[in-house]
Amino acid sequence: MCGIVGYIGTKEAYPILIKGLKRLEYRGYDSAGVALINDNGQLSVYKTKGKVSDLETFVTRKDISGNIGIAHTRWATHGEPCSVNAHPHYSSSERLALIHNGIIENYALLKEKLQAKGFTFRSNTDTEVLVQLIEYIQVNHRTSLLTAVQLALREVIGAYAIAVIDREDPDVIIAARKSSPLVVGIGEGEFFLASDATPIVEYTDRVIYLDDGEIAVIRRGGALRVVNLNNVECPHEVQRVAMDLGQLEKGGYPHFMLKEIFDQPACITDCMRGRINVEGTNVVLSAVIDYKERLLAANRFIIVACGTSWHAALIGKHLIETFCRIPVEVEYASEFRYCNPVIGSNDVVIAISQSGETADTLAAVELAKTRGAFIYGICNVIGSSIPRATHTGSYIHVGPEIGVASTKAFTGQVTVLTMLALTLAREKHTIDKDQYLSIVGELQKIPDKMREVLQLNDRIAQLAKIFTYAHNFIYLGRGYSYPVALEGALKLKEISYIHAEGYPAAEMKHGPIALVDTEMPVVVIATQNGLYEKVMSNIQEIKARKGKVIALVTRGDTAISRIADTCLELPEMPECLEPLIATLPLQLLAYHIAVCKGMDVDQPRNLAKSVTVE
């Protein structure tokens, strides 16, 4: 939620900030703004409703010079999206400008106190309260900006990543973090600041990730200082980041989402690289081996996640219970933290998160840690908060995911969960050797089978035209395919704004079947696996009520093609690996329907990629 960028050095700041905002636009895109201090010491704030491109238009013919600046792209929490509520926010005298990602929970109380002292506010945001408070302290206590920030943040309850500049001291940016990510890039005589490393990597590969409670004092020509709210120096480690810049571009595709769908064969190869031996006979997740005693001693596993990652968790439950015979519970991270969960030192909690920053998942991890559980993270963004909060874990290594609708991260998560289940099952001796070898062999074939499935793209693009005007969709699947149905429905909802529900196929007759009529498209995952005959009966029930059935079937299936309206064929696959290929046509269907409807596929309304607020 919200993207933050900052620059201080010898170059013109504006182009660096705008490019950075474009890289971070996936985090929020309802308004954008920039603050710059020019060589005459003037602090200018330009901000507007809309996207970063609207900001670029807005600043035409304005003074955008200066080699210090901060910029922001917003996902509204407090106050509607409009230029007044956009960041940066000025302080009362317009001496300071501040950007913020997070929520200041006690802002109303702080605002009342300031109003009682005569302060007035231009916006409805929590952020403006903070910048006014900082200036109030700075002036009344006659302190430096750093001290004012430290004192102000001591009064704040909530989550923040902030950056603040002061026209009276144009050589410094003060940045602070609590529960919202912040990375400082260290260049030659210049510093960069951002919510993640993507705006930084083309200038420098040396970064530090701020920890909660830390404040970076970024002074031109000086060394980076990191202190806490009590002004105690915090040792910090400079890390190297490696990122393929091509992954941050669309590479000829019209949307990041389509690129990321088509990237999946290569991403899954990357995800498995070094984890399956060349002979294709052995899977090793090093974190599982390193902590195998702890994992094998667990009473049960609890998987916490949100959204698409929660769907991957449901598949993980099947895999771990089937192969490892360890009971697994799957919890929405947002509910888990508030339900006083029964959890103790014999439990293992697996946290799944693409961004590694989801506030609810991070809070669930912290809660489980305080109860003594062992925490295993499955994340994509290297160095993000969740991997840093866990005891161990495995990255999915699928590269930056920019489209707000998660695609390649889902298949990466399921691949890691499969490797985790297989590694653990072999250590626990709960899988027989032939079955193990067969699944490992099939897992290696997934990238090629994904390529085959992606050839359905043109057909699905045609099919999408028929369903562009649908108001509702139902997705059905059983066993391993039920979470795939949920994921297909979520993709459609997110980017096409068509109401869609996923159900276990057999649950239809307990209520949802009442919705079926000639207008209702029903997508059914009906491959030839364990419950094939039963799913076929469910399709008959829908057809008897004149619903439109789009079925995913195993190649060569003739029985379902006789009753379904449309069949999309998938290559043969063991049931446990089927989610890795069956999800792709559903991603493509959602994508093409959204494109036909003229929707903003990569940046759907109301959503943000990284949900760093509750």
Instruction: List the catalytic residues.
Output: 2, 609
Torsion angle in degrees (nearest 10) through CA of 588, 356, 79, 64: -90
> Under the criterion CB under 6 A, does residue 583 sit at the interface with ligand M6R?
no
Stretches 94-102, 138-146, 402-410, 591-599: which one binds ligand M6R (CB under 6 A)? 402-410
C-alpha span between 226 and 210 (Å, rounded): 8
Distance between CA atoms of residues 229 and 162, nearest Å: 14
Q: Is 210 helix (H, G, I), strand (E, B) or coil?
A: coil
198 lies in the site for ligand M6R, by CB under 6 A = no
215 beta partners: 176, 227
- The secondary structure of 334-382 as a DSSP string is HHHTTS-----TTEEEEEEESSS--HHHHHHHHHHHHTT-EEEEEESST
CB of 310 to ligand M6R, least distance (A): 7
Segment near ligand M6R (CB under 6 A); pick from 117-125, 129-137, 278-286, 305-313: 305-313
By CB under 6 A, residue 180 contacts ligand M6R = no
- Closest distance between ligand M6R and the C-beta of residue 32, in Å? 20
Our finding on whether 308 is near ligand M6R (CB under 6 A) is yes
Could you tell me how many residues of this chain bind ligand M6R (CB under 6 A)? 16
Tracing tokens 């005891």 back to the chain, one arrives at: 391
CB of 86 to ligand M6R, least distance (A): 23
Span 482-521, contacts to ligand M6R by CB under 6 A: 494
Q: Find the binder of ligand M6R among 145, 611, 612, 613 (CB under 6 A).
A: 611
> Which residue number, 190 or 196, has a Cβ lying nearer to ligand M6R?
196
CB of 396 to ligand M6R, least distance (A): 10
Instruction: Tell me the H-state helices in 87-125.
Output: 107-116
Angle among Cα 228, 230, 234 to the nearest 5 degrees reads: 30
Bridge-partner residues for 501, per DSSP? 474
- Answer for which of 35, 98, 404, 536 binds ligand M6R (CB under 6 A) is 404
587 binds ligand M6R (CB under 6 A): no
The nearest distance, CB 363 to ligand M6R, in angstroms, is: 12
Cα–Cα dist 393/288, whole Å: 8
Give the residue, chosen from 48, 132, 309, 583, that forms a contact with ligand M6R under the rule CB under 6 A.
Answer: 309
Residue 272 CA neighbour count, 13 Å, CB half: 26
Compute the least distance from the CB of residue 219 to ligand M6R, in Å: 33
Q: Is 334 in the site for ligand M6R (CB under 6 A)?
A: no
The closest alpha carbon to 585, from 407, 494, 454, 411, belongs to 454
Cα distance between residue 32 and residue 275, in whole Å: 42
Q: Which is nearer to ligand M6R, 486 or 531 (CB)?
A: 486
- Binding to ligand M6R, residues 265-304 (CB under 6 A): none
Structure tokens at 428: 């626990």
Q: Residue 611 Cβ, how far from ligand M6R at the closest point, in Å?
A: 5
CB of 497 to ligand M6R, least distance (A): 14
- In angstroms, the CA 496 to CA 186 distance is 41
Contact predicate 406/378, CB 8 Å: no
Q: Note whether 306 binds ligand M6R by CB under 6 A.
A: yes
Q: Which is nearer to ligand M6R, 48 or 358 (CB)?
A: 358
CA distances from 125 to 36, 76, 81 (A): 21, 9, 10
Give the number of other CB atoms < 10 A from CB of residue 429. 8
Residue with CB nearest ligand M6R?
307
Residue 415 engages ligand M6R in binding (rule: CB under 6 A): no
Residues 346-385 that bind ligand M6R (CB under 6 A): 353-355, 358, 361
The reply to whether 138 sits near ligand M6R by the rule CB under 6 A is no
CB contact at 8 A, 313 and 346: no
* Identity of residue 55: L
DSSP state of 25: G
Token couple for 185: 């890039």
Assess 129 for contact with ligand M6R (CB under 6 A).
no
Cα 514 from Cα 524, distance rounded (Å) = 17
Asked if 195 interacts with ligand M6R (CB under 6 A), we say no
603 binds ligand M6R (CB under 6 A): no
Measured from the CB atom, the residue of 101 and 355 that comes closer to ligand M6R is 355
Site residues for ligand M6R per CB under 6 A: 306-309, 353-355, 358, 361, 404-406, 494, 607, 610-611
